[in-house]
Chains A and B, each alone.
Chain A
């Protein structure tokens, strides 16, 4: 019965997913292979092929299987994977998948390890969860795990913020930025923390906190035309123009107002105020 797996692997090694799908179709139609073996062959195809028409054929073939109750959820999942776009996400029933894995395997797949890390987090052990996720990421290099890791840092920081532990939150965010200096939500949250704790007399610190974020938002604003990042930049320039004006830091206010006018030339008040402070 392992032959369908072997032949699928062979076809995929020869870059021929169409013949692999053909064999799986015959197998499903004849009922000659066990459900789990057919699913395994389908997964081998899916791991190297995202062609929509082939994936659709696989989905149809799998829907002809007559799985036992214990295998039904696996078949559903593999069909969902067939219908999922490349880089997409699939809805997974946590308990059902856990039950299936517990019944069929002694090995712990990466997903269960990730869920264990999430469980640790939910028990208040954020640091332990981060450590486990780093271990998983270092062993598999999966980008989804990395994404989860970065979000775990963020969530740990949000928990500190909720308890008004601002220094601890900033430390966690800085640690995540050492691993990924383009983590925009972490940069943004850190900038907010720095700004809220910074008095008007420490204007240099404010500038430092926002500088990199503004650089990234500006690049994103150029790349994506839907204005989300432009609105953030406008909000930033307005906020700091107002603070610098209040502090009497005219030169710094000029820079903020000029940047604001540069991206929002219709703002008459900015122009009037800039003219007034340039007099």
Chain B
């Protein structure tokens, strides 16, 4: 059964409607950006994606797979797990504010009512 571990459209940065000319152009640009000697894994992915999308039969299988349940995970991988989304969800919240509280030099911000109470108790 046909299966994929990469989304070739995402690897080449093109839409599923892209024609063969666009596939070739995308590959050419990426090969210049990620030469094999420096980025062997990336270059391998680019070549694999290119081969899948330039063979009519293979591309038909790719499209069918991406429409299937199993292909859905690949389709959302980049869009749903981007750094932006991940960072927003997984940053420890309000950390800067919490850290600021423990600064005991210079100026610190004190609650109005707590300060009034404290000053009154000092002046009694």
**Stretch of B25-33, B41-49, B54-62, B76-84 lying at the A interface:** B76-84
Given the contacts A77-B115, A90-B109, A92-B115, A188 and B93 also touching, CB distance less than 8 Å: yes
CB-based nearest A residue for B85: A235
A12 interface contact, C-beta 8 A: no
Which listed residue (A90, A185, A242) contacts B94, Cβ 8 A? Answer: A185
Complex formed: what's the CA distance from A235 to B99 in Å? 25
Which listed residue (A74, A109, A161, A253) contacts B92, Cβ 8 A? Answer: A161
A267 to chain B, nearest CB (A): 9
Interface size on A (CB < 8 Å)? 77
CB-based nearest A residue for B95: A158
Majority SS at the chain A contact face: helix
A115 interface contact, C-beta 8 A: yes
Which listed residue (A39, A148, A238, A276) contacts B123, Cβ 8 A? Answer: A39
B21 interface contact, C-beta 8 A: no
B110 interface contact, C-beta 8 A: yes
B120 interface contact, C-beta 8 A: yes
**Could you list some 17 contacts between A and B, CB below 8 A?**
A78-B119, A90-B111, A100-B122, A107-B121, A109-B122, A111-B114, A111-B115, A118-B102, A142-B113, A144-B110, A155-B102, A185-B92, A188-B93, A238-B81, A241-B80, A245-B73, A246-B73
Which listed residue (A94, A242, A248) contacts B80, Cβ 8 A? Answer: A242
Contacts of A154 in B (CB 8 A): 94, 98
Residues B76 and A89 in contact, CB atoms below 8 Å apart: no
B1 interface contact, C-beta 8 A: no
